[in-house]
A and B are shown apart, each in its own frame.
Chain A
Amino acid sequence: MHIEEKLTPETFPAEPEKATLEGKNKFLGFWFFLGGETVLFASLFATYLALKDSVAGGPTSEELFKMPLVFVATMLLLTSSLTSVYAMYHMKNFDFKKMQLWLGVTVLLGAAFLALEIYEFNEYVHEGFKFSTSAFSSAFYTLVGTHGAHVTFGLLWILTLMIRNAKRGLNLYNAPKFYVASLYWHFIDVVWVFIFTVVYLMGMVG
């Protein structure tokens, strides 16, 4: 299929993200990138696990972490993962407006998650848990902060796509872009599942 072909719901392909060569390449290249991201986060998780008990007289994970905050953050991010699935569902049905709507909901939930994280870091710093307090604090802020940076980047990416294509509508040029951005957003949630388990929940049982 040609990239600039004018499409109707009838002619829109079942897998629009892979209907063009460019889309196929994006799809493969992006999964390769996600493999690399897995390794990046693994190195940060490994560092954190090695250093989490080196508190150097500073606050420990049991003293710092609060379960309700982490639980709410987890629910926000998990729900935003579902809303981006909704967006891709509407993309496959060639319903541009509904796709934009659900991407917008995804961005709002992601922004709420980010706001909670900023609040949390701010609280910790006021409790005397700074980046340079201990090996534990450095490893914690680097790991969780890198994830937060990914959330920020994902939000800006999805917003940019939404605004850039607002008047253009859905076609085979931008369908792979939306699809790949939603894959990125799911991957952010995948990393968060391990953060809330390994960092927060394991940090609360000691």
Chain B
Amino acid sequence: MANHTNSGNPNVDLAYRRKKNAEEMKFQVISFILMIFLTIVAFFAVGYEGFSHWFSVPFILLLATVQVAFQLYYFMHMSHKGHEFPALFLYSGVFVAFLTVLAFVTIVWV
């Protein structure tokens, strides 16, 4: 295992790692607060009479995409290095998903 923080003193490394983990936790709590906020905004955008659905539908889809990005990059650690293959696998899935949904909402005339 490559350990770039190895100072030879395990207690120093431990303190450093704990600090790194706590820092990451802080980012995750911030993304959680933002996700809650985006959810509330989406519910209000739908409840508010002043918005036509030509505005509110693309708007809440955008909010959902942003929220999912937080989930993937912070909660699921995709922002960390060593996630090239996970990104390849996931975005391949997203690409097929996009084509499938596009086909069904445009070509299907049921």
Residues of chain A touching chain B, judged by Cβ–Cβ distance below 8 Å, are 1, 9-11, 13-14, 18-19, 27-28, 31-32, 34-39, 41-43, 45-47, 49-51, 54, 67, 71, 74-75, 78, 81-82, 85-86, 89, 92-93, 135, 183, 186-187, 189-190, 193-194, 196-198, 201-202, 204-206
In the docked arrangement, what's the CA distance between A64 and B10, Å?
59
Which of the residues B56, B71, B101 comes within 8 Å of A189, measured between beta carbons?
A: B71
Contact B85 A31 (CB under 8 A): yes
Give the most central of B57, B63, B75, B90: most A CB within 10 Å: B75
SS of A interface (majority):
helix
In the docked arrangement, what's the CA distance between A119 and B96, Å?
34
Contact A37 B36 (CB under 8 A): no
Chain B residues near A45: list those with CB within 8 A. 97, 101
Contact B35 A78 (CB under 8 A): yes
- B89 vs chain A, min Cβ distance (A): 4
What are 17 A-to-B residue pairs whose CB atoms are below 8 Å?
A1-B1, A31-B86, A34-B89, A39-B96, A42-B98, A81-B32, A81-B71, A85-B28, A85-B75, A89-B21, A92-B17, A183-B76, A186-B72, A193-B67, A198-B61, A205-B57, A206-B53
Chain B residues near A82: list those with CB within 8 A. 28-29, 32, 75
Chain B residues near A193: list those with CB within 8 A. 64, 67-68, 71
- A26 vs chain B, min Cβ distance (A): 12
- B98 vs chain A, min Cβ distance (A): 8
Chain B residues near A89: list those with CB within 8 A. 21, 24-25, 28
Chain A residues near B100: list those with CB within 8 A. 39, 42-43, 46
Residues of chain B touching chain A, judged by Cβ–Cβ distance below 8 Å, are 1, 3, 5, 10-11, 13-14, 17-18, 20-21, 24-25, 28-29, 32, 35-36, 39, 42-43, 46-47, 53, 56-57, 60-61, 63-64, 67-68, 71-72, 75-76, 82, 85-86, 89-90, 92-94, 96-98, 100-101, 103-105, 108, 110
SS of B interface (majority):
helix
Contact B90 A35 (CB under 8 A): yes
Known contacts being A197-B61, A204-B46, A205-B53, is A38 close to B85, with CB within 8 Å?
A: no
- B67 vs chain A, min Cβ distance (A): 5
Chain A residues near B56: list those with CB within 8 A. 205
Give the most central of B25, B60, B89: most A CB within 10 Å: B89
Contact B86 A28 (CB under 8 A): yes
In the docked arrangement, what's the CA distance between A54 and B21, Å?
50
Contact A74 B39 (CB under 8 A): yes
Contact A202 B57 (CB under 8 A): yes
Which of the residues A27, A34, A71, A75 comes within 8 Å of B93, measured between beta carbons?
A: A34
Which of the residues B24, B67, B97 comes within 8 Å of A38, measured between beta carbons?
A: B97
